[in-house]
Amino acid sequence: MLLERFRLDDQVAIVTGAGRGIGRGIALALGEAGATVVCAARTVAALEDTAAEVTRRGGRGLAVPCDVLEEPQLEHLVAETVRLGGRLDVLVNNAGGSMPMLAEVTSRDDFEAAFRFNVSSAFVLSRLAIPRMLAVGGGSIVNVTSALSRLVESGFVSYGTAKAGLSHLTRLLACEYAPRIRVNAVCCGAVLTEALGLFLDDDTRTRMEQQTPLGRLGTPEDVAILALYLASDASSWVTGKVYEIDGGTVDSNWPIRIRPELEPGR
Ligand SMILES: NC(=O)c1ccc[n+]([C@@H]2O[C@H](COP(=O)([O-])OP(=O)(O)OC[C@H]3O[C@@H](n4cnc5c(N)ncnc54)[C@H](OP(=O)(O)O)[C@@H]3O)[C@@H](O)[C@H]2O)c1
């Protein structure tokens, strides 16, 4: 049966940034498909909540605190996963982000910090995870990148460039590790999470929805379904691909001018 190919019974997954938002949504989806899901982020209470919900939905949820910016903690995360779960099959590099900032006020440190958070952490964790995946015959890595990696908008020089790096890292790792490890990415448009909520009031939300062909913002569940497809055997003929999931957006729907006086034409 085709739907059986979405099942992850007996498989073990790590999801970073699983305490809330898109990461939590992905962790719950993998759990619903039967996986043991190691939920990783910095806030223990949020992780424990996600892990409990994974278990309630039919998987097995485990909480392992981890700051993805700290390499020893990434090493500990992989070691704990194998100790508690016995193996590692799926890695979702979801933790990431950066505050919008115009290029003229972005320092080298700001720029490199965005790269560390969005790209280097995913690379280092993938490097640590891959040998464990190869030990069980193969695995799947799913990276969470952004529509701002391909669309242009003021204020996203660090974040968009870093996410573009993550998208291409996806293709390059896939090339090196095919056929045993598949590496793909979900490229998200605006998804209703706490991170996006920082910028939304009723008016900006309405304007974003009006600029989105499918007329609404995304939910973590929208993204989680695609991530489950890419994590599971359902996508066994797919690697090195960056899947756009954004309500049909072809132009930026970001409604907030970071510094209106610096907008072109003003
Ligand atoms: N929301 C959107 O519209 C959107 C669009 C495109 C792409 N994305 C991408 O989707 C991913 C998730 O975004 P989101 O909107 O779901 O964010 P969110 O709601 O702010 O959730 C972020 C999660 O990551 C964790 N986290 C933050 N810093 C961390 C660190 N240093 N180490 C480990 N975990 C950390 C947070 O928990 P703690 O703070 O407890 O660690 C939290 O669980 C990001 O990569 C983001 O760039 C989001």
- Residue in 159, 177, 229, 243 annotated catalytic: 159
Kindly report the protein residue whose alpha carbon is nearest to atom 23 of ligand 1: 17
Which ligand 1 atom sits nearest the alpha carbon of residue 20? 43
Q: Nearest Cα to 22, choosing from 248, 175, 223, 217?
A: 223
| pLDDT at residue 256, as a whole number | 77
Which ligand 1 atom sits nearest the alpha carbon of residue 17? 24
Ligand 1 pocket, CB under 6 A: 16-17, 19-23, 41-43, 46, 66-69, 94-97, 144, 146, 188, 190-191, 193-196
| pLDDT at residue 68, as a whole number | 99
Best substitution site from 191, 222, 245, 252 to test ligand 1's pocket, by max atoms within 8 Å of Cβ?
191
Q: To which residue do tokens 């590692």 refer?
A: 88
Q: Ligand 1 centre and the CA of 137: distance in Å? A: 30
Q: Ligand 1 centre and the CA of 118: distance in Å? A: 10
CATH topology for the 2-244 domain: Rossmann fold (3.40.50)
Q: Which residues pair with 41 in a beta bridge?
A: none
| pLDDT at residue 126, as a whole number | 99
Kindly report the protein residue whose alpha carbon is nearest to atom 7 of ligand 1: 146
| pLDDT at residue 265, as a whole number | 47
Best substitution site from 14, 16, 20 to test ligand 1's pocket, by max atoms within 8 Å of Cβ?
20
Residue segments in the chain with a per-residue pLDDT below the cut of 50: 263-266
Which ligand 1 atom sits nearest the alpha carbon of residue 217? 3
Q: Ligand 1 centre and the CA of 194: distance in Å? A: 9
Q: For this structure, is 159 an active site residue?
A: yes
Q: Where are the domains of the chain?
A: 2-244
| pLDDT at residue 6, as a whole number | 98
